[in-house]
Amino acid sequence: MSDIELPASREEGAPSLRAGTLSMPKVLGMGASYLAPGVILIFNPASMALVSGKQSWLAILLDIPAFLFLVVGVAVFAKRYVVTGSLMSYLGEAFGSKSRMFSGAPLLVAYFLSMPLTAIFVLTFAQGLLLDMHMTWANSPTAQVLVVAVVTIIAAYISYRGVNLSARFAIFCTVICAPFVLILIVAALIHTGSGFTDQFSLKGMKFSDLVAGLVMVFVGLVGFEGFTALGRETKDPVRNTLIILPVLVGLVVVVLLVGCLTLVPVLLQHVAAVNAGQSPSSIVADASGVSWLKIPLDATLLLATFSCLIAVLNDAARVTATAGRDGMLPTGLGVISPKTGTPARSIIFMAVLAIGIPAVSQYVVQQSPLQASAAMGPTLVYLWLVPYLAMFVGVIAIKRREGALVSLTTLIAVLGFLFLIFLTVYSISQLTGTIQKAAPAIALGLAALLFIVSLIRDIGGSGRSALAKASA
C-alpha cells in the first residue's frame, strides 16, 4: 500500500512536517486545548442542569464506560499506525483505500463545519467580554463577522508558523484561566449551602433526564482523538499517543464532575437566568459574591476558546492535507511549506471556511453566526458517528485477522458499536425544528457525495493503472 500520509523529516527546509518535534506534554496540551477544559467546567454544567437537574454528576459517571470504549477503539489503531489523517488514516492503513474514503468523507465534512463552529465559539466569549465592558456595538452583525475574521486570521498565522509555536501558545491560553476558574469554584462551594449534599439524593430522578444528560456529555467528547493527526510530529508517537488517550479522557471526566458538583446546585437556583441565555460564569459569580471576577474570567476564557481554535485548526489542516495527498480533495491542499513545515494551503483553506460560512450565513441566508451554529452544532455528532462506528467494526476485523476474535477488546468494540447505535437513534428522536432536522441530512448527503466522487476517481485510477501495465 502506498504511503499517502504527510511526509515528515527532521531536515530543516524540507517540504515536510517536522518529525519528532512535539514532546508528550505539548501534544497533551494541544489535545486539552481542543477540549477547552476551563470552558466546559463552567458552561457544561449549565446545559446539564437544564437537562438532568441535580443528578447531572451521575450522568457523567455512567458515561465513563462509553469513554473507555472510544479510548480502547482508538488505541487499537494507534499502537499499530502513525498517521496524519486521524481516524480516516487509521482505517485506510488497516483496510485499504475504500475504508479510508468511507470514514474520511464524513470526517472531512465534520472538520469543515468544526472550523466555523469553533470560530463562533470564540465569538460568543469575545462578544460577552465586550458587552461586559459596555461596548454594545459588539451586537451588530458586521461586528460579529469581523470578530470571527480577526480571531481566525490570528489563529491561522500561528498555525502556519509551526506546530511548536501553536502548542506553546495553546497551552498558555488554556492554563491562564485556571486561577480564576478555581476562585469561582471555591466561591460557589461556600455559597451553595445544603444544595451540595442534596444533589446526592436520587429522589425525583427521571430515567429520561439521566439518559439525556448521558448523551449530552458523550457528545462533548466528539473529536477528542484529533490530536492523533500530529502523530508524525510527535516524539515516540506510539508510546505517547497511548498515554495521552486515557489521560485526556480522564481530564474530561474530572473537569465535568468538578463543574457539575460545584456549579449545578448554584445554577439550579437561577434557572430563569440560564434559560434567558445569561452567561453561566456571570450567574455563578453574582450568586457567589465575586462579581468582580466576571471580566478577568471572561477575558481568560476567551483565550481558552482561542486556544481551542488553534488546536482544531492544526488537526483539521493535517487531516485535510492528508486527504489532498490521497486524492479525496484537490492535491494542492497536501503541499507542505518548506519554510515552516506546516500544511500551509490547508490552513488557509480551513481559515477561509471559518470566516466564509458565518459571513454567508449573515449576509446571504440572513442568519447570524450564533443562529447558524445552533443548526451546525448537532450535525457534527452524526458526521463523527460514521467513522466511530467504522472504527469499532475495524477493531473487530483486526482482532479476527490476528486470530484473537474472542477477547476483551472485541467485547468492548461490540459494546461501543451498540452504544453508538443507541446514541444515533436517541438523537434522531429528539430532533426538533425544520433546520435542525434538515442540517444533518444535508451534511451527511455532502459526505455521501464526497465518498461517491472519491470512489469513482479511485476506481478510474485503478483501471488506468491496470491498462497501463497491460500495455507495457
Mean pLDDT along residues 400-423: 94
Structure confidence at residue 13 as a pLDDT band (50, 70, 90): confident
Mean pLDDT on 13-30: 89
DSSP 339: T
pLDDT (mean) for 8-22: 84
Confidence of residue 195 (pLDDT cuts 50, 70, 90): low
- Residue 327: pLDDT band (50, 70, 90) is confident
CA separation for the pair 388, 417 (Å, rounded)? 8
182 contacts 255 by C-beta, under 8 angstroms = no
Long-range contacts of 404-412 (CB under 8 A, 24+ apart): 409/72, 409/76, 412/68, 412/69, 412/72, 412/73
pLDDT of residue 440: 81
With cut-offs at 50, 70 and 90, classify the pLDDT of residue 461: low
Q: How far apart are the first and last CA of the chain?
A: 22
Q: Give all domains of the chain, ordered by start, each with its CATH number.
A: 8-457 (1.20.1740.10)
The mean of the pLDDT values for the chain is: 88
Least confident of 70-79, 241-250, 266-275, 445-454: 266-275
Question: Which amino acid appears at position 436 of this protein?
Answer: Q
Asked if pLDDT for residue 410 goes beyond 90, the answer is yes
Above 60 in pLDDT, residue 109?
yes
Q: Above 90 in pLDDT, residue 172? A: yes
| Lowest mean pLDDT segment, chosen from 149-153, 245-249, 325-329, 398-402 | 325-329
Whole-angstrom Cα distance, residue 160 to residue 335?
13
Confidence at residue 433, expressed as pLDDT on a 0 to 100 scale: 67
When pLDDT is averaged across residues 330-345 and rounded to a whole number, the result is 93
d(CA 435, CA 455): 30
> 10 Å Cβ neighbour count for 346?
27
Task: Express as a percent the part of the chain with pLDDT over 70.
Answer: 94
How much is the pLDDT for 219? 78
Residue closest to 440 by CA, chosen among 389, 370, 390, 377: 377
pLDDT attached to residue 214:
83
pLDDT band at 171 (very low <50, low <70, confident <90, very high): very high
What are 50-105's pLDDT values in tens digits?
A: 888 888 889 899 899 999 999 999 999 999 999 999 999 999 989 888 899 999 99
- Which stretches within 55-177 are classed as H helix? 56-78, 86-95, 97-132, 141-161, 163-175
How many Cα neighbours within 13 Å face the side chain of 150? 9
Q: Sorting pLDDT into bands at 50, 70 and 90, what band is 156?
A: very high
Question: In this predicted model, what pLDDT tens digit does every residue of 199-246 receive, in sequence order?
Answer: 877 777 788 788 888 888 887 788 899 999 999 999 999 999 999 999
- Separation between Cα atoms, residue 314 and residue 87, nearest integer Å: 15
DSSP structure class, residue 234: B
Closest listed residue to residue 42, CA positions, set 253, 276, 267, 192: 267
User: Which residues, 6+ apart, have CB-to-CB distance to 303 below 8 Å?
Assistant: 173, 176, 177
Residue 1 clears pLDDT 50, i.e. is over it: no
Confidence band of 462 (pLDDT split at 50, 70, 90): low
**Pick from 60, 322, 297: which is nearest to 185 by CA?**
297
